[in-house]
């Protein structure tokens, strides 16, 4: 579909010249944030950096040439009129607010996955993107990895017959705790790091990489690896779920990680396709059809239909699921190389004002599938889902889990 078009956006935007170096602001600079900002440097200059951890910000400034201005509050960075694009690599609980703020400030955005912390955040975010006409690319880079793209194209083009089942393995959530409560380090603004989540005393393991093992800030593997693998699985299925069930154990450790362990979820789709999501087994995605199966992960793509490509190839020119592929870019596989193409697609769309390959609609739908899976795991019962209304059917309690209270002073403004 064409990218969201509004008269307001059309009047406000003239795409920059292809020969013009764009000016980039980077928000959230720990590992993944610095990776995506680095890949953006092929298309522009990082001139502004924001992080609530001063040490991370200073380290990033040195990495990007030592001249970028530093900010602790992303809103101050977004006030700059000279910035064309923003990269966001913060923890999950900040993604929606920062994308919304950036779009309303007139910036195009590359934001790390998962797109949101809740389903209702995604509804608001899509509306804001539509209203502002901004280009938003989500960092679900497996869509730009040739192995994953080939697998999905083969499934959708009937190379395994009628799709019947998809099996996804994500990996185990980490367990741990109780952890010590300490004073936050002087270089970290702990209050701002927490943002819209409940204010709690500082625990080192709540912060930086290990934030993903706390429901307050993330959703564990279901939204971490799930934002990648369930996205690819659902792209291959080509429709949205209508029922979800699951079972899991949840730790009860004071001041400890609280995401599900030993989890398994099952999704049912209107066509009869069933998708299972487990935490044990070989990490990856298995598409099972009436005439064959394909397995794909970050290291391989395999199955008889893949072997048959030697006699019956499926060239990139025959791919159908994304109409704006830049075929001048080489096939890339693996995380860092695929992000090169994923970032290139983002900057292509800045020029053309077209829809990027991991746009907010597809990524809201994918992470919604992750979120409702987590809700089913936490409630411990089957749930019927209406993907058009984006609500559970006949379950008021489950529907209360589609949003979260936001801390005063950090609310996302509708």
DSSP at 279: S
Spell 64-81 as b/e; 16+ CB within 10 A means b. beeebeebeebeebbeee
Q: Which of 357, 395, 50, 95 is nearest to 223 (CA)?
A: 95
Could you tell me how far CA 275 lies from the centroid of its own chain? 20
Which tokens go with 234? 């659902």
Q: What angle do CA 391, 362, 145 make, to 5 degrees?
A: 140
Residues in CB range of 178: below 8 A, 6 or more apart:
253, 254, 255, 256
Per-residue pLDDT of the chain (414 residues; tens, 9 = 90+): 333 333 333 333 444 555 678 999 999 999 999 999 999 999 999 999 999 999 999 999 999 999 999 999 999 999 999 999 999 999 999 999 999 999 999 999 999 999 999 999 999 999 999 999 999 999 999 999 999 999 999 999 999 999 999 999 999 999 999 999 999 999 999 999 999 999 999 999 999 999 999 999 999 999 999 999 999 999 999 999 999 999 999 999 999 999 999 999 999 999 999 999 999 999 999 999 999 999 999 999 999 999 999 999 999 999 999 999 999 999 999 999 999 999 999 999 999 999 999 999 999 999 999 999 999 999 999 999 999 999 999 999 999 999 999 999 999 987
Q: Give the containing element (helix H, strand E) for 216.
A: none
Rounded Cα distance between 201 and 189, Å, is 12
pLDDT at residue 7, rounded to an integer: 34
Burial class (CB in 10 A: 0-12, 13-18, 19+), 106: middle
Q: Do residues 239 and 270 make contact, with C-beta atoms less than 8 angstroms apart?
A: yes
pLDDT at residue 5, rounded to an integer: 33
Rg of the Cα trace of the chain? 21
Q: Do residues 13 and 353 make contact, with C-beta atoms less than 8 angstroms apart?
A: yes
Written as one string, the DSSP assignment of 58-85 is: HHHHHHTTS--EEESSHHHHHT-TT--E
Rounded Cα distance between 54 and 71, Å, is 9
pLDDT at residue 10, rounded to an integer: 38
pLDDT at residue 1, rounded to an integer: 30
Q: Give the containing element (helix H, strand E) for 140.
A: none
**3-state SS assignment for residue 152:** helix
pLDDT at residue 11, rounded to an integer: 35
Q: Give the containing element (helix H, strand E) for 214.
A: none
Strands 292-296 and 284-289: antiparallel
pLDDT at residue 413, rounded to an integer: 82
pTM, full prediction: 0.95
């Amino acid at each position: 579909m064409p990218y969201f078009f509004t008269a307001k956006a059309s009047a406000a935007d003239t795409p920059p010249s292809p020969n013009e170096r764009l000016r980039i602001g980077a928000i959230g600079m720990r590992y993944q944030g610095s990776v995506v900002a680095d890949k953006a440097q092929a298309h522009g200059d990082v001139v502004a950096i924001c992080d609530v951890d001063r040490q991370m910000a200073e380290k990033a400034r040195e990495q990007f040439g030592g001249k970028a201005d530093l900010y602790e509050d992303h809103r101050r960075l977004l006030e700059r009129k000279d910035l064309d694009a923003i990269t966001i690599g913060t923890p999950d609980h900040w993604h929606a607010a920062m994308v919304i703020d950036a779009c309303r400030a007139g910036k195009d955005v590359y934001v790390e996955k998962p797109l949101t912390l809740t389903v209702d955040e995604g509804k608001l975010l899509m509306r804001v993107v539509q209203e502002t006409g901004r280009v938003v690319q989500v960092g679900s880079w497996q869509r730009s990895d040739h192995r994953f793209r080939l697998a999905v194209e083969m499934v959708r083009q009937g190379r395994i017959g009628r799709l019947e089942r998809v099996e996804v393995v994500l990996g185990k959530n980490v367990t741990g705790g109780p952890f010590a409560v300490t004073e936050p380090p002087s270089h970290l603004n702990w209050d701002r790091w927490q943002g819209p989540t409940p204010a709690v005393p500082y625990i080192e393991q709540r912060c930086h990489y290990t934030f993903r093992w706390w429901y307050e800030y993330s959703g564990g593997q279901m939204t971490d690896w799930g934002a990648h693998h369930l996205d690819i699985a659902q792209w291959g299925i080509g429709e949205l779920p209508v029922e979800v069930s699951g079972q899991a154990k949840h730790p009860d450790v004071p001041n400890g990680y609280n995401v599900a362990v030993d989890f398994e979820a099952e999704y049912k789709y209107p066509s009869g396709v069933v998708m299972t999501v487990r935490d044990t087994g070989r990490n990856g995605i298995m598409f099972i059809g009436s005439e064959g199966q394909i397995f794909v992960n970050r290291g391989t793509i395999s199955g008889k239909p893949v072997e048959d490509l030697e006699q019956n190839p499926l060239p990139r020119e025959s791919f159908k699921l994304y109409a704006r592929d830049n075929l001048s870019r080489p096939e890339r596989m693996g995380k860092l190389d695929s992000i090169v193409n994923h970032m290139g697609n983002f900057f292509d769309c800045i020029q053309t004002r077209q829809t990027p390959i991991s746009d907010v609609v597809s990524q809201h739908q994918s992470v919604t599938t992750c979120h409702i899976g987590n809700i089913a795991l936490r409630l411990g019962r089957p749930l019927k889902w209406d993907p058009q209304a984006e609500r559970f059917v006949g379950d008021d309690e489950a529907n209360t889990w589609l949003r979260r209270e936001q801390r005063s002073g950090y609310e996302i403004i509708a």
